[in-house]
Amino acid sequence: MATSKIFRKDILKDKVAFVTGGGSGICKGMAEAMIRHGAKAVITSRSQEKLDKAAEEMRKQTGGEILAVAADVRKPEEIVNVVEKAIERFGKIDILVNGAAGNFLAPAETLSYRAFRTVIEIDLLGTYNTTKACFPYLKRSKGCIINVSATLHYQSTLYQSHVSAAKAGIDALSRNLAAEWGPYSIRVNSIAPGPIAGTEGVAKLLPSFAAESATRNIPLQRMGTISDVEQATIFLASDAASFITGQIIVVDGGESLRKVGVLPYPESVINPTNFSKKLSVKL
């Protein structure tokens, strides 16, 4: 269901949203939803080409104002540059969405030092870098931060030790910043999506043979949609959530309540090389 059927069209009027990972997938949807409800948006990711395409698509859909600037969230100087351009263009930042992320299936025993570090740097360090760069302006606007987390670390998830560690760190960071920055009237919350249909994440991480059983294991009996995450985003970004901070809003249809692994255990762990042949994605 479209956010406009639930929330007032101008609920974010005159707000400026800064969205990392905003060139595609869930984060593009989050940015577009906020624009649809009156916000201006700054989107950033590593590919300027992807950002330009996304910005053009969102302008056509919403008629809103969008600034697209490429940056690598692992590099503070690049994020600071985007923040400076955002201030030059719009004069403020009210809403920060930290959504830039990297993930792939990898057994821990074959996961390289570099690969583990890369995911930590993009997800966790990237969240900190962007939050640090935006802080002075969020302090001025009494703004809010929405970090995109996950439910993978609530229980063990095979082949996901790297991203589970990163997302657990994001949850801890969110709570700590909520406590430290509450006196500045900055709210800090997280959205933890479950399996979201039509996204690169599901395509990469959910074997095709397991999709049906995965849906059956979700209490609400369906995969999530980007629209489901958009609804939570508009709520947390608006004054409807003005007394909510330090919380993790799980958008997963109840999947994390009875998480059931979709990969055979322990067979897939003992012999991941042979088992990978059954997967629709490469380990």
Could you report the per-residue pLDDT of 105-154, keeping only the tens digit for each?
899 999 999 999 999 999 999 999 999 999 999 999 999 999 999 999 99
Q: What domain range includes position 54?
A: 9-251+261-278
Residue 199 or 166, more confident:
166
Q: How far apart are CA 145 and CA 244, in angstroms?
A: 11
Residue written as token pair 């990969």: 263
The reply to whether 163 falls in a domain is yes
pLDDT band at 267 (very low <50, low <70, confident <90, very high): confident
pLDDT tens per residue, range 146-196: 999 999 999 999 999 999 999 999 999 999 999 999 999 999 999 999 999
The reply to whether 244 falls in a domain is yes
The reply to whether 93 falls in a domain is yes
The reply to whether 283 falls in a domain is no
Q: Hey, is 7 helix, strand or coil?
A: coil
Closest CA to 219 of 249, 186, 255: 255
What pLDDT does 260 receive?
Answer: 78
pTM for the complete prediction? 0.94
What pLDDT does 19 receive?
Answer: 98
Q: How far apart are CA 81 and CA 71, in angstroms?
A: 8
Q: How far apart are CA 191 and CA 147, in angstroms?
A: 6
Domains contained in the chain, number: 1
Phi-psi region for residue 247, left (φ > 0), alpha (ψ -120 to 50) or beta? beta
The reply to whether 2 falls in a domain is no
Q: What is the CATH number of the domain that holds 159?
A: 3.40.50.720
pLDDT band at 274 (very low <50, low <70, confident <90, very high): low
The reply to whether 256 falls in a domain is no
| Contact call for residues 191 and 239 (beta carbons, < 8 A) | no
Tokens encoding 34: 């906020």
